[in-house]
Amino acid sequence: MDRRKFLVGAGMSMLAAAAPVDLLAATKRGGMRSARRVHKTGKLKLSFFPYELKLRHAFNLARYSRTTTPDIQVQLEYDGVVGYGEASMPPYLGESVESVTKFLNSLDLGQFNDPFRIEDILSYVDGVAPCNRAAKASVDIALHDLLGKIMGQPWYKIWGLDPAKAPVTSFTIGIDTEEVVRQKVREASPYKLIKVKMGLDKDQETIDIIKQMMPDVPLCVDCNQGWKDKEHALEMCHWLKERGCVFVEQPFDKEWIDETAWLRERSPLPIIADEAFQRLPDIVRFKGVYDGINIKLMKSTGLHEAYKMITVARALDMKVMIGCMTETSCAVTAAANLSPLVDFADLDGNLLIANDRFKGMTVENGKITLHDIPGIGVELLK
Ligand code: MG
């Protein structure tokens, strides 16, 4: 479809011209550099277009396989400053190009005269319609990018985080033939943590191949709800522990609360919630069922709620992982700003696609490396 057709003004009409917003406070405080002067007559404008992500390899999980991911790229502009956002819609999450387009077209952000009122703006966006988590995340990410650029600082600095504390990120190896697994393991050589997709009868065979090729690199395992028997799952947890596995993600169907709590009580490895976990209120009911949560911006509705999730999970003494969908470097880099706060990171979604539009965070020697770029920290590729 013609990209121009999708450059839709989403009703994010003019900010009130009379609204005096002093966006230079950061500069005046002295420590911040190169904050952008934003005129009081600025207007906020949302535009977006669909952008199908092409996967480098077919993505095989316990429940399905695919070679593309639907995605919508978002731009939020205020007085010449452009913030980038993104909604990635893996089919199992229930959103689509149509649903995200409809949601973004329904927004009326013209009622807000101060783009720094993040809490009010995002509460409004969340209340426009239920669900639509990826659509909401696209606005949240673009708003953060815009505000960080206006302040002239990357978000990890605005949050006061030390980029040196960013963790290693895992590299994902899907369920596949032995030949493809071997190829993926060769690609994984710079990484310090390998994430293995499980849930079919080849689980042990796949782990054996990886351990043979990379004996010293720790593993983590993602079952994507694929294990069907709790006794087998417990045996696998012990077997995996002996092979250097550090956690197991979403072993059972997301509705299997009792079975998951049973496994968690006995497992030598932490059990992390992914598909079962979406929004902030889920954390409290998962205390005692899972040891930790996998936060993804496309589930959390973006950075604002993700930061709150980390705070609540820490208060409940739960582990925190930050993950992603297949996404461009836009959403992946946005999430990476939070990574100094988490135990585990799985931010390789941008590496799984062949048509990234951005450059952003990099992985150096297996570790997430945040750069000093204002906003969420991305630049459009030429
Ligand atoms: Mg997962």
Instruction: Give me the architecture of the 160-380 domain, per CATH.
Output: Alpha-Beta Barrel (3.20)
Amino acid at 193: L
For residue 309, pLDDT over 80 is answered with: yes
pLDDT digits (tens, 9 = 90+) for 26-80: 433 334 445 555 544 557 889 999 999 999 877 766 566 789 999 999 999 998 9
| Distance of CA 305 from the midpoint of ligand 1 (Å) | 19
| Distance of CA 278 from the midpoint of ligand 1 (Å) | 12
Calculate mean pLDDT across residues 250-258: 96
Question: Ligand 1 is a single-atom ion; what residues have CB below 5 A from it?
Answer: 222, 249, 274
Q: In the chain, what are the domain boundaries?
A: 20-156, 160-380
Residue-wise DSSP of 275-318: TT--STTHHHHHBTTBSEEEEEHHHHTSHHHHHHHHHHHHHTT-
| Distance of CA 231 from the midpoint of ligand 1 (Å) | 21
Nearest residue to 353 via CA among 100, 84, 70:
70
The yes-or-no answer to whether 20-156 and 160-380 have a common fold is no
How far apart are the C-alpha atoms of 308 and 221, rounded to whole Å? Answer: 26
pTM: 0.87
Nearest residue to 360 via CA among 340, 342, 376, 338:
376
For residue 3, pLDDT over 70 is answered with: no
| Distance of CA 196 from the midpoint of ligand 1 (Å) | 10
For residue 234, pLDDT over 70 is answered with: yes
| Distance of CA 280 from the midpoint of ligand 1 (Å) | 17
| Distance of CA 4 from the midpoint of ligand 1 (Å) | 35
pLDDT digits (tens, 9 = 90+) for 107-132: 988 777 789 999 999 999 999 999 99
81-88 vs 71-78, strand pairing mode: antiparallel
Calculate mean pLDDT across residues 261-281: 97
pLDDT digits (tens, 9 = 90+) for 186-209: 988 889 999 998 876 778 999 999
| Distance of CA 274 from the midpoint of ligand 1 (Å) | 5
| Distance of CA 270 from the midpoint of ligand 1 (Å) | 14
| Distance of CA 36 from the midpoint of ligand 1 (Å) | 39
pLDDT at res. 304: 98
| Distance of CA 66 from the midpoint of ligand 1 (Å) | 16
pLDDT digits (tens, 9 = 90+) for 314-352: 999 999 999 999 999 999 999 999 999 999 999 999 988
pLDDT at res. 62: 59
Rg (alpha carbons) of the chain, rounded to whole number: 21
CATH topology of domain 20-156: Enolase-like; domain 1 (3.30.390)
| Distance of CA 276 from the midpoint of ligand 1 (Å) | 10
| Distance of CA 197 from the midpoint of ligand 1 (Å) | 8
